[in-house]
Amino acid sequence: MTKKIAVLPGDGVGNEVMEAALIVLDQLDLDVEYEWGDIGWEFWKTEGDALPARTVELLKRTDACLFGAITSMPKEECEEVLIPELKGQGLVYRSPIVRLRQMFDLYVNYRPCKAFKNNPLIYREGIDLHVFRENTEGLYAGIEFHPLADDLRAKMLEFNKNMGKFDGVPGEDIAMSCRVFSRKGCERIVRAGFELARDKGYKTVTVVEKPNVVRETSGMMIREARKVAKEFPGIELWETNIDAMCMWLIKNPLDYGVLVTSNMFGDIVSDLCAQLVGGLGFAASASRGDSYALFEPTHGSAPKYYGQYKVNPIAMILSAKLMLEYIGEGKKADAVEQAVADVVAEGKVRTYDMRGSNTSLEVAEAIAAKLR
C-alpha cells in the first residue's frame, strides 16, 4: 500500500538537506506519496504559531514525517520578530519540534552514531553507538515557573531554605523548571534500548543518569531499568552517571553500544556521540511512538549557511534511511547506508566539514549514483 509521507523542510538549511535527501529517495522506486507542510520561524513571525494547525492535520493523515530543521530562539527574540499585528498579545513560542514529539507521543528518540570508514572527522575507527533519548518528558515537559506563585514559593522553601537567599522580590527573582519522569516513560525508553540490543546482538545496555544526586527522577529511571533488564537475559545492564559517561565516551568509546537516557541528558550526550563520528553532519534521528514517527537530522537550521548549499546532507539522508526501515523498506534502507558509506570511503565528493568543496546536492547526487 502507498505510504503517505509528510515533508516538513522547516527553516534555513533544513530546506537544502531535504532537497538532497529527496534526490536519494527518488532513486529507490518507492511506493510513497509526499505532502509538503509548513513549520518553523516564518510561521511564527507571520501567524504567531510555528506549528500551524494545518500541519498537525497533515501529520495525522500521513504514515510518517520527514523533518528538516527549525530555528528556535530565547523568549525576548521571539517577541521581537513578530509582525506588528501579533506583538504584545502574549503569544508564547514553544519549539515546534518539541511540541510535535509530545503531541504525537513520539517517546523514543533514537540516534545512531556510526563511524564510517575513511571519514577524516571520526574520533576513532569502529565507534558504533545507539543513543536512546526519552523524548516526551523530563526537563522538556514544559513545566516551568516565573515568577513563582506564593504557594509554590512556600513549597520550595519547605524543601530547601537556602533558595530563599536571593529571592529579593518574592517569587520574582527565582525561576523554576521541573524535571518530571513517569514510570511508564522510563520503562518504555529503557525497553526500546534493550530491544535494539537484543535485535542487533549487543551484550550491554548502559543507562546514563545521575541517581546519586537527582534521586527521585534519575532513581526512577534506574529502578525501571533494573526491572526491564530482567526480561532480557544475556544482556547486561550498566549504570553510569552522565558526567562520568561523557568522560568515558571520550576515553573508551568502543566499550559502549546502546545508551539509554532521559530527555535533556540525551540531548547533550547525543551531540557528544555525534562529534565522535564526524559531527552533526552525520547525526540522524528517529522520533518514534506507537503509531507515528518523525525523522530528522540532529542538527539545527544553521541560518548563517542558508542559501549556500554548503552543509553536509548525510545526517538528513541517514534520517531518511531510518524512515525507510520504519515503513518496511529495510533492504532499501541498507542500500542507502551502504551508498553513504561508499561515498564517504571514496572521499571524492565531500562537503566543507569534511574538508571538501562540494555542495550538499553534489553529495546527494554521488550517493544517488551508487544506488542506480
What residue ranges bind Mg ion (CB under 5 A)?
267
- 95 makes contact with ligand IPM (CB under 6 A): yes
Q: Which does 182 bind (CB under 5 to 8 A by kind): ligand IPM, Mg ion, none?
A: none
Between CA 165 and CA 45, with CA 264 as vertex, the angle to 5 degrees is 90
Q: Which is nearer to ligand IPM, 163 or 268 (CB)?
A: 268
- 136 makes contact with ligand IPM (CB under 6 A): no
**Extended beta strands in 54-210, E state:** 64-69, 108-114, 128-134, 144-145, 176-177, 204-209
- 298 makes contact with ligand IPM (CB under 6 A): yes
> Min. distance of Cβ 120 from ligand IPM in angstroms?
24
Residue 119: all three cell numbers together: 571519514
- 66 makes contact with ligand IPM (CB under 6 A): no
Q: Which is nearer to Mg ion, 224 or 267 (CB)?
A: 267
Using Cβ positions, the residue closest to ligand IPM within the complex turns out to be 95
Using the rule CB under 6 A, which residue among 13, 39, 97, 366 binds ligand IPM? 97
Q: Which does 95 bind (CB under 5 to 8 A by kind): ligand IPM, Mg ion, none?
A: ligand IPM
- 137 makes contact with ligand IPM (CB under 6 A): no
Q: Which stretch binds ligand IPM (CB under 6 A): 47-55, 93-101, 117-125, 180-188?
A: 93-101
b/e burial code for range 251-268 (CB count within 10 A of at least 16 → b): eebeebbbbbbbbbbbbe
> Min. distance of Cβ 151 from Mg ion in angstroms?
34
- 182 makes contact with ligand IPM (CB under 6 A): no
- 189 makes contact with ligand IPM (CB under 6 A): no
* Backbone conformation region of residue 49, classed left if phi is above 0, alpha if psi is from -120 to 50, else beta: beta
Q: Which does 147 bind (CB under 5 to 8 A by kind): ligand IPM, Mg ion, none?
A: none
> Min. distance of Cβ 95 from ligand IPM in angstroms?
4
- 21 makes contact with ligand IPM (CB under 6 A): no
> Min. distance of Cβ 109 from ligand IPM in angstroms?
7
d(CA 137, CA 160): 24
Distances (CA, A) of 1 to 4, 32, 115, 283, 305: 9, 9, 35, 30, 39
Place of cell 546532507: 313
Sign of the torsion angle spanned by Cα atoms 315, 271, 252, 231:
negative
Spatial contact of 281 and 311, defined as CB atoms under 8 Å apart: yes
Residue 208: all three cell numbers together: 546514563
Spatial contact of 198 and 160, defined as CB atoms under 8 Å apart: no
Q: What mask, x for binding ligand IPM by CB under 6 A, covers residues 276 to 295?
A: --------------------
d(CA 110, CA 123): 21
Q: Which is nearer to ligand IPM, 313 or 349 (CB)?
A: 313
Query: For the purposes of burial, counting CB atoms within 10 Å of the CB of 29, is it exposed (0-12), middle (13-18) or buried (19 or more)?
Result: exposed
Q: Which is nearer to ligand IPM, 98 or 367 (CB)?
A: 98
Spatial contact of 69 and 306, defined as CB atoms under 8 Å apart: no
> Min. distance of Cβ 152 from Mg ion in angstroms?
29
Using the rule CB under 6 A, which residue among 72, 119, 312, 351 binds ligand IPM? 72
> Min. distance of Cβ 54 from ligand IPM in angstroms?
22
Contact footprint for ligand IPM (CB under 6 A): 72, 95, 97-98, 267, 298, 300
